[in-house]
Amino acid sequence: MSSLQGESMHRNSFLVGVAALGVLLLAGCAPTYPKCDSDENCKEHNEVCVQGQCRECATDQNCKAGFVCTKNACVPKPECTDDASCGAGRKCDNGKCAAKSCAQDNDCGPNARCTNNVCVANSCATNDDCRTGETCQAGMCVKGAAATTACDWSPVHFAFDKSNLDEKARSQLDAMAACIKKSSFKQITIEGNCDDRGTEEYNLHLSIRRAAAAKKYLVDLGVPASLLQTVGYGKLRPAVQGQTEEAWASNRRDEFVAK
């Protein structure tokens, strides 16, 4: 082999070695942040690799609880995504539920109504929570005329000089309370009365106690106290004239006037 050939082989071997070293160096050099080849390149910054760039997130799973991934950034999870997720009478406005403005009930959709130009849920606990001409049924106000003739308003009677309710009186009031709670009365007046024996002052106080006893019993059964008014007439308003046991028994009573 000539000296010229040996020098050429030496040069070629050197070039091959330099090329191989360059390849190794390039292979072991990590991309400069925020560029990346894998999530490992972004780990130091608590990020993930998305299309060659380190970003805060790629999916919701990369975000902490209560946050979602939007455009590769973790943002607070929105309260809503559409009106349906906000409930009756409300709308989804930029991810938050807000009341709808309205002019009439029809603007509010199902299970909602327009109150003071704002949609609110149609809900109630008693008839007092509803508008005139409505009744509270299954937690919702329903249109319908007050059933003023549906209840049995028969007088409740008392024993002589007593204001406590006997078994028959309690049974009457049980049925009355059930009827009242299904109706839309705005006011019920309980009128206490006595027979004509005794002084006018004593009978006035006795009649007031009789009316109060019926009111307390009805309230204990769930009738709103605000619905019930009481008044005592003493012996001034007899139902039956006469000085007999039958007449006196008829006059010892509570009467009920519903509106």
| Residues 64 and 89 grouped into a single domain | no
Q: Is the same domain home to 90 and 184?
A: no
Q: Which residues pair with 134 in a beta bridge?
A: 143
CATH number at residue 161: 3.30.1330.60
Please tell me whether residues 161 and 182 are part of one structural domain. Answer: yes
Domain for residue 73, yes or no? yes
Among the candidates 77, 108, 134, a domain finishes at 77
In a domain, 8, yes or no: no
- What residues contact 103, with CB distance under 8 A and at least 6 apart? 114, 117
User: Does one domain contain both 183 and 244?
Assistant: yes
In a domain, 224, yes or no: yes
The vertex-179 CA angle with 175 and 180, nearest 5°, equals 115
Report the DSSP pairing between strands 188-193 and 228-232: parallel
Is there a single domain that holds both residue 67 and residue 93? no
Whether the model pTM is above 0.75: no
When divided into structural domains, the chain yields a total of: 3
18: region left, alpha or beta (phi > 0 left; psi from -120 to 50 alpha): alpha
Secondary structure class of 205 (helix, strand, coil): helix
By residue range, what is the domain housing residue 208?
156-258
pLDDT tens-place string over residues 151-202:
889 999 999 999 999 999 999 999 999 999 888 788 999 999 999 999 999 9
Report helix, strand or coil for 25.
helix
Instruction: Show the CA angle centred on residue 141, arms to residues 138 and 145, nearest 5°.
Output: 110
Q: Looking at the structure, tell me whether residues 236 and 188 fall in a common domain.
A: yes
Q: What is the pLDDT of residues 8-63, one digit of tens each?
A: 555 655 555 555 555 545 555 778 999 999 999 999 999 999 999 999 999 999 99
